[in-house]
Amino acid sequence: NQTFGAEFIFLGLFQYGQMNTILFVAITVIFSVALMGNIILIHLIRLDTLLHTPMYFLFSQLSFIDMMYISTTVPKMATNFLSVSKTITFLGCEIQSFLFLTLGGTEALLLGFLSYDRYIAICHPLHYPVLMSKTICLSMVTCAWASSSINALIHTLYVFQLPFCRSRIVNHFFCEVPSLLPLVCQDTSQYEYTVLFSSLIILLLPFITILASYARVLIVVYQMSSGKGQTKAISTCSSHLMVASLFYGTALSTYTRPHSLHYPGEDKVVAVFYSIVTPLLNPFIYSLRNKEVMGAMSKLWEKADI
């Protein structure tokens, strides 16, 4: 009972018509700042040879993902503030869902790999060149992209072959699997177990890995005699934990609950954190709290002045 020509209608983040222009300007500014922050971080890592390390390679991948991640949802969301129809085609919704799941899953896995990188660097520094070689780094990134893409493809193909009811009103600001399930005209409780299983592997497992890695890191750090080493390690790990907690906490609250326990107003606010706030904060947390990145930026400014 649906075709590729059918359309979904978004209710949007807010439903206050008189604020649409203000919201459009605000979200456009946030989008621009997020893009520029991630582009600058990637540029710095590419130019400064001191940042050509496994950790910064993973950071650059994360920034690239964040640029694509926020670009998947925000442009359509911003134009809808000024649009009367607020629609998206069936195919457009399918593509948006696939990209969002792929990029979100890849980010979740990469954050886990970053914690492994810090664990090896601090707890087993002599083995670091072997355990975090270029080949292993590339394998990690390839694994993250491939597994997330396959997971996203399976969920997207399954959800969009389900029978949707006559109402195509999506109480959200983008096409996300949990927000589409209430529109399906059949019982989806069994499928929701599949969503839960995927979430436990792609979200919860990396988050547990991060907590376990940093618990071990903190023990080792406090055994260090060097105050400078303690400060550097704690600074790097704390910035990573800030992003990880925000991202995993909000994403898990959305993807581990059955749709009967979802509340659209709450879901939309929570989605803002893992789809917009995290890509915005990532480059600034990694740069402003990182002396090496700030040093690379200073050198770039000095060259520009010359």
Structure confidence at residue 295 (pLDDT): 81
pLDDT, tens digit, for every residue of 271-287? 999 999 999 988 888 77
Q: Which residues of 84-116 are buried (b: 16+ CB within 10 A; e: fewer)?
A: eebbbebeebbebbbbbbbbbbbbbbbbbbbbb
Q: How do 87-89 and 169-170 pair as beta strands?
A: unpaired
Mean pLDDT, to the nearest integer, of 103-116?
Answer: 94
Mean pLDDT, to the nearest integer, of 192-197?
Answer: 93
- Cα of first residue to Cα of last residue in the chain, in angstroms, is 65
Query: CA angle, 100 as apex, 145 and 273 as ends, to 5°?
Result: 110
Cα–Cα dist 230/219, whole Å = 11
Cα–Cα dist 75/65, whole Å = 16
Does residue 112 register a pLDDT over 50?
Answer: yes
Structure confidence at residue 1 (pLDDT): 45
Does residue 291 register a pLDDT over 80?
Answer: no
Mean pLDDT, to the nearest integer, of 138-142?
Answer: 95
Does residue 301 register a pLDDT over 70?
Answer: yes
Q: What is the CATH number of domain 7-305?
A: 1.20.1070.10
Top pLDDT among 212 and 4 is at: 212
Structure confidence at residue 3 (pLDDT): 47
Does residue 304 register a pLDDT over 80?
Answer: no
Structure confidence at residue 288 (pLDDT): 66
Top pLDDT among 167 and 34 is at: 34
Cα–Cα dist 220/208, whole Å = 19
pLDDT, tens digit, for every residue of 164-192? 987 788 999 999 999 999 999 898 889 99
* pLDDT averaged over every residue in the chain: 87
Specify whether the backbone of 171 is left (phi greater than 0), alpha (psi in -120 to 50) or beta. beta
Cα–Cα dist 301/233, whole Å = 27
Does residue 222 register a pLDDT over 90?
Answer: no
Structure confidence at residue 229 (pLDDT): 66
Cα–Cα dist 296/302, whole Å = 10
Q: Where are the domains of the chain?
A: 7-305
Structure tokens at 131: 């355990």
Q: CB under 8 Å to 54, separation ≥6 — which residues?
A: 117, 132, 134, 136, 137
Mean pLDDT, to the nearest integer, of 148-162?
Answer: 96
Residue % of the chain over a pLDDT of 70: 92
Structure tokens at 289: 């709290």
Does residue 95 register a pLDDT over 90?
Answer: yes
Top pLDDT among 120 and 122 is at: 120
Cα–Cα dist 62/164, whole Å = 35
Mean pLDDT, to the nearest integer, of 259-280?
Answer: 89
- Comparing CA positions, the residue from 193, 208, 201, 169 lying closest to residue 257 is 193
In sequence order, what DSSP letters do the residues of 133-202 get, joined into one string? -HHHHHHHHHHHHHHHHHHHHHHHHHHTTS-B-S--EESSSS--HHHHGGGBSS--HHHHHHHHHHHIII
Cβ 224 vs Cβ 230: under 8 Å: yes
Structure confidence at residue 85 (pLDDT): 81
Structure confidence at residue 225 (pLDDT): 58
Residue % of the chain over a pLDDT of 90: 56
